[in-house]
Amino acid sequence: QSKGGTKSHTVSVNISGLNAGSYKAEITISDPDASNSPQAINVTLNISQQSPPQIWTNTKNLSFEATAGGSDPSSQTLRIKNSGDGTLNYTISDDASWLTINPASGSSSGGENRHTVSVDIDGLSQGNYSGTITITDPDASNNPKQVNVSLELSSQPSGNKISISCIPSSGGTDTVISIPITISGNQKEIK
């Protein structure tokens, strides 16, 4: 009811369950006693498509080096995040038996996730190896994204030897001597 004044009404919209597109509706105001009843107001609702998530990684290549028959190289960190809109829900796989990625999946709305990439050289001989890490989210605009991994295994050194000499080789009390020590072919610490 209004006597010559203006009355405000709130119109709300619920877009849940609606796809991207343009929607039209009409609001009808009627009063049987009004000479200009009914009045119609056209309403248009435009819902734009949300941009898809996008897979971002801090690097396109990881490289490891080790000695065949020696210790595994230190693990490295692969950082992954969503650089697009929405939420990125991804899984990680690889095509090399010597590669391990942990954890093997993640979710990001923009924050970075850290994944540990490890290499197991047990049973591998000298040579160069390559593998591929694949990050997958079917909803991502750049699905899948790949990171190349290289592993270089060098041969065990040969001719490991420690030589010690004493100069001079003999002398009396208070004789000052020098003892040069030569280490060849060794790659690990000797104490």
39-80 tens-digit pLDDT: 888 888 887 777 899 999 999 999 999 998 889 999 999 999
pLDDT > 60? residue 126:
yes
| Average pLDDT of the segment spanning 147-157 | 90
pLDDT of 36 reads 86
pLDDT of 64 reads 97
Weakest mean pLDDT among 15-19, 73-77, 141-145: 15-19
pLDDT of 191 reads 60
Query: Residue 92 has which token pair?
Result: 């990680």
Query: Residue 120 has which token pair?
Result: 């197991």
Model confidence band, residue 142 (pLDDT cutoffs 50, 70, 90) = very high
- Size (the chain), residues: 191
Residue 156's contacts (CB-CB under 8 Å, 6 or more residues apart) are: 67, 68, 69, 70
| CA–CA dist 179, 160 (Å, integer) | 20
pLDDT > 90? residue 87:
yes
Coil, helix or strand for 173?
A: coil
Q: Which residue has the higher pLDDT, 9 or 118?
A: 118
- Burial-class residue 133 by CB neighbours within 10 Å (0-12, 13-18, 19+): buried
Residue 12's contacts (CB-CB under 8 Å, 6 or more residues apart) are: none
**Distances in whole angstroms, Cα of residue 46 to Cα of each of 15, 20, 26, 31, 83:** 10, 8, 15, 30, 25
Query: Residue 172 has which token pair?
Result: 């009396």
pLDDT of 108 reads 97
pLDDT > 80? residue 4:
no
